[in-house]
Amino acid sequence: MNLGTPDSPKVTSVGNYLLEFLNDGRVIDIPKILRLILVNLIIVPIRMFSSAKEYQKLWTQKGSPLMYNSIEFLEKIKNEMGPEYGVHMAMRYNKPSIKSVLAEMKELQYDEIIFLPLYPQYASSSSGTAIEEIMKYVSQWWAIPKLKFISEFHLDNGYLESVVARGMEFELDKYDHILFSYHGLPIRHIKKLKLGNCKDNECACNNINENRYCYKSNCIATTKSLVQKLKLEESKYTICFQSRLDNKWLTPFADKEIIKLAKDGAKKILVFSPAFVSDCLETTVEIGEGFNEIFIENGGEKLDLVPSLNTHPKWVKAVKNIILNA
């Protein structure tokens, strides 16, 4: 399962996608009536036009990269798993919907179903909402088979080695600095975990805590593992968070870090995006285009983006092993 994508970069398609996405109570976690007013009457009617322009930059002749890479990945993982396993693909928002895919699976009467949201680091607004949506429909089945949910895999060695393989496509020594940019998250989402071992529960530290469901801790642990495998010095890299809506999101902010690096004299930087296993708006457009423009405007010369795992052979094998070891 992955996030999903609009049917096309047209304003109406993007608007419909945003309506479904932003009305999710785990994404915008405010009282439902306020969310309906905010999303349906304010955010989407305004944002769908600017978002459509961004999706137009992303779209190719093959369509949305997230969709065509997911379809290709599905075929590769089917071949890797073999005929004894049924493998299905669903998107949390838009098509193919979790509801429709589960209906197909119900007819096949599987003895066991393993659900894998393709988000390495756990967040309630990504893995959490996918799992909740599954349970909403499966709970209505009369015969419920054995179920397994893989809610995070941020320290899985196959996943880490796949990211490293992508990174080794670049000459790391040629870059002044390396960023590990993760999708942002409101701090209140972390506070809802009520972590007793976090100072003031404000997510202001850069330590790994004991809670496997703390998103920031997952991101830090992922980065430290990648840095060790890539043999990077402490001064060579920075962890940051992108796509924020306001200043009450996880810090440091990626765009601010890029500006700082450029003004401090960095001329060439490389960006990893380990939270995204498939290239999408946040990687190709936000980082590859937007962050590159910011970097150059502030004195930098070149920002390169490490491609997402997409259909990399190591990633296909990694997913097979994640499933078999569930």
Residues 297, 173 within the same domain? yes
Residues 76, 17 within the same domain? no
Query: 197 near 209, Cβ under 8 Å?
Result: yes
Mean pLDDT estimate for the chain: 95
User: Which residues make beta-bridge pairs with 269?
Assistant: 177, 303
Query: 163 near 325, Cβ under 8 Å?
Result: no
In a domain? residue 277: yes
In a domain? residue 5: no
Task: Mean pLDDT check: name the lowest of 191-205, 206-220, 237-251.
Answer: 191-205
The boundaries of the domain holding residue 319 are 65-155+313-324
In a domain? residue 2: no
Residues 164, 294 within the same domain? yes
Residues 253, 293 within the same domain? yes
pTM of the predicted structure, to 2 decimals: 0.95
Instruction: Please give the backbone phi and psi of residue 165, each rounded to the nearest 5 degrees, phi first.
Output: -60, -40
Query: What is the distance between the terminal CA atoms of the chain, rounded to a whole angstrom?
Result: 16
Q: Please report the pLDDT score of residue 210 as a whole number.
A: 72
In a domain? residue 102: yes
Count of domains for the chain: 3
DSSP secondary structure code for residue 307 in this structure: P
Residues 85, 213 within the same domain? no
Residues 92, 224 within the same domain? no
Q: Which residue has the higher pLDDT, 23 or 202?
A: 23
In a domain? residue 40: yes
Q: What is the pLDDT of residues 112-145, one digit of tens each?
A: 999 999 999 999 999 999 999 999 999 999 999 9
Which domain CATH number covers 176? Answer: 3.40.50.1400
Q: What is the pLDDT of residues 74-106, one digit of tens each?
A: 999 999 999 999 999 999 999 999 999 999 999
What is the mean predicted confidence (pLDDT) over 41-47? 97
In a domain? residue 1: no
In a domain? residue 6: no
For the cut 80, the answer to whether the pLDDT of residue 206 exceeds it is no
What CA–CA distance (Å, rounded) separates 50 from 54? Answer: 7
Q: Please report the pLDDT score of residue 212 as a whole number.
A: 83
Residues 262, 204 within the same domain? yes
Which residues, other chains included, contact 140 with Cβ-Cβ below 8 Å and sequence gap of 6+? none
Residues 69, 180 within the same domain? no
Residues 170, 301 within the same domain? yes
The 8 Å CB, 24+ separation contacts for 217-220 are: 218/120, 218/121, 218/122, 218/152, 218/154, 219/121, 219/154, 219/180, 219/182, 219/274, 219/275
What is the separation of C-alpha 244 from the centre of its chain, rounded to a whole number of angstroms? 14
Residues 51, 91 within the same domain? no
Indicate if the alpha-carbon torsion angle 13, 17, 19, 20 is positive or negative: positive
What CA–CA distance (Å, rounded) separates 224 from 50? Answer: 36
C-alpha dist (Å) from residue 301 to 62, 174, 258, 295: 31, 13, 12, 7
Query: 315 near 108, Cβ under 8 Å?
Result: no
Which residues, other chains included, contact 207 with Cβ-Cβ below 8 Å and sequence gap of 6+? 217, 220
Q: Which residue has the higher pLDDT, 193 or 173?
A: 173
Residues 223, 280 within the same domain? yes
DSSP secondary structure code for residue 27 in this structure: T
Residues 182, 269 within the same domain? yes
In a domain? residue 93: yes
For the cut 80, the answer to whether the pLDDT of residue 244 exceeds it is yes
Task: Mean pLDDT check: name the lowest of 15-19, 71-75, 196-200, 317-321.
Answer: 196-200
For the cut 70, the answer to whether the pLDDT of residue 202 exceeds it is no
